[in-house]
Structure 1
């Protein structure tokens, strides 16, 4: 049975609706997802599909949370509260332990710290608590010499940068985000979901791999104490189940800044629209030079954790380099393990957000983002 497509598109974006409808028609009957986009601060795409879903449905957005977290860091750098080339230990003296004293905030944001996880792993309660992670990581010996290589700090980067924010401002990253970013723009993107909104949350669902995908998984060397296992907390006696993290009430309530965000596609796209464009009469949150600094490539090549080519700016994925090469240079964004994607292309003025309920294989931005983002980008350039 063909799913009904809900929502609207602006004139000139009809092809985006057609692309979304064509994708949904080829999916399983229980597909559920949302697509939203802004161009120069104006909403031009607002679509969704799925039984029981609507534009206000909220989903776990996994690592797309890092985009919201590091927008806060960019704001504080822009204002002079934080300095990118200051040592992390200047703000957080305990972090200097085990040879981390010279690591700068810039290097930390570029996933070059080497502290991708804890030797003994984390409990679920610790994964949900940025302060607990920061306390553990301050004394952690790096897995490579800080600054000499890079690897994705999947579950800890938001706690590490968040502790720098807390030390510099006296407030948690989540508090600064709520006050300076989410509330002023009324964004449906929460780092700590209020209990009153929990009924809008849509439980994350697993996607069982096909036989071909299972063969690819089995072919990968995945020892219990590899950097990959440590970074994703798979090595303790009770490992973290990344796919179901958003379903844990403690994770949703506390909103850890690496993986705990809850959002709609409107919230994802709205965040990036607010970052680069005037929205509803409000000036952009970030100046052009700030976007350029945070979008500049800082780590590109072999990622020691992902075991693949990856590229990062400062706290953001280099989305134009590694995911969608048709986007403008300096695009800032971040995908999430469930399949969501969000970014801002300052050259075209495009801000994009996509969510889905069932986790996509193999994690990160779901494959359909390639065709959906390309359709939105073509329409944006045509305008």
Structure 2
């Protein structure tokens, strides 16, 4: 069993035991809040502490979605206004009716570009947006959905920049990260680089990796376009977060950096409030962004999943959570969400990829936190 560091509140001892049973030795972190109180703060790994930062990949989308929700709440963004109203160039090739709601719910057909985006281009949302402006959708907007892994929030960010004159990253820093002193960054400052720990490749054998890649669609498939496989060389996802340019710019679809404390704290701040501050989101805004907009088979990834606006619908993934739970996982194995009904905010990071992007420990850890929270509230075993 892996050596575990950190603390849990009374009643959450079983979470520590579950974490020890499933934690990755190379480094993992787990944090959880019940409303505004942190009740779990654990970590493993020789070079990892509770303050360690690492790449959070698509958990970045949760941070970016929070910015979109705040600006919608403010009346700055209109989710149903055609994007061309503020970004005329985006209307090329049949995209003139696409709205932010389409993009946030992965129904726009905008998942990448036909001739590929290099790793260097994918580090910069402004470059991605420029390339996407001329790109035709990969299906008729609104008729189906497919996950836009590396490009979704470049579109959202360009709309925000054109309407407000400021970047999505700047809004996140000033509205979310700094007021709540959160270790989640869309743009990691140079003076915090010493806390970053690299993402590590899978330990899968060559035979296991060959068997996995033999079943992956080709580079010019929808999955290939969405995940940068239609470039030469194909995008190396492990190297992506370990590139200083990616961390510095904080690409809003997958370039974020954070800790489990930071992720759990971000969702607690969004749904419940922290440090005596009110929640970032009103109940009405949280409900709108958590409400399922997209469900069923994903044209890009093949599997069935469910999305609200930007956020994954976590109640569909973990049925013991409420229908209003919202959050986002990431490729290296991060997971984070809030459940406004049960009062849980959850954050998890890991440094080592799974070769098949499968992280069964999520189910066990989320269930353990939920059981402890329910037992503490009701005095009965969940």
> TM-score by structure 1 length?
0.95
**Alignment map for 1:336-347 (pairs within 5 Å):** 336-347=330-341
Q: What residue is the counterpart of 2:240 in the other structure?
A: 245
Q: Distance in 1 between matches of 2:257 and 2:127?
A: 21
Deviation for aligned residue 1:107: 1.1
Q: In 2 relative to 1, CA 283–112 (structure 1 residues): closer, same or farther, beyond 3 Å?
A: same
Matched, 1:95 2:90: yes
Stretches of structure 1 that go unaligned for 5 or more consecutive residues are: none
Deviation for aligned residue 1:209: 2.5
Worse-matched range after superposition: 136-145 or 3-12 = 3-12
Q: What residue is the counterpart of 1:311 in the other structure?
A: 306
Matched, 1:5 2:33: no
Q: What residue is the counterpart of 1:21 in the other structure?
A: 20
> TM-score by structure 2 length?
0.95
Q: What residue is the counterpart of 1:224 in the other structure?
A: 219
Deviation for aligned residue 1:122: 1.1
Matched, 1:280 2:279: no
Deviation for aligned residue 1:344: 0.5
- Asked if the contact 1:65/1:259 (under 8 Å) is kept, the reply is yes
Q: Distance in 2 between matches of 1:6 and 1:227?
A: 42
* Count of residue correspondences: 376
Matched, 1:255 2:250: yes
Counterpart secondary structure, 1:73: helix
Q: In 2 relative to 1, CA 285–157 (structure 1 residues): closer, same or farther, beyond 3 Å?
A: same
Counterpart secondary structure, 2:59: helix
Deviation for aligned residue 1:349: 1.0
Return structure 1 stretches of 4+ with deviation > 4 angstroms: 210-213
Q: What residue is the counterpart of 1:335 in the other structure?
A: 329
Q: Structure 2 residue aligned with 1:360, among 354, 360, 366?
A: 354
Deviation for aligned residue 1:23: 2.1
- Asked if the contact 2:209/2:355 (under 8 Å) is kept, the reply is no
Deviation for aligned residue 1:75: 0.2
Counterpart secondary structure, 1:117: coil
Q: Structure 1 residue aligned with 2:371, among 365, 371, 378?
A: 378
CA RMSD of the aligned region, Å? Answer: 1.4
Deviation for aligned residue 1:307: 1.2
Stretches of structure 2 that go unaligned for 5 or more consecutive residues are: 378-382
Q: Structure 2 residue aligned with 1:111, among 103, 106, 110?
A: 106
- Asked if the contact 1:243/1:337 (under 8 Å) is kept, the reply is no
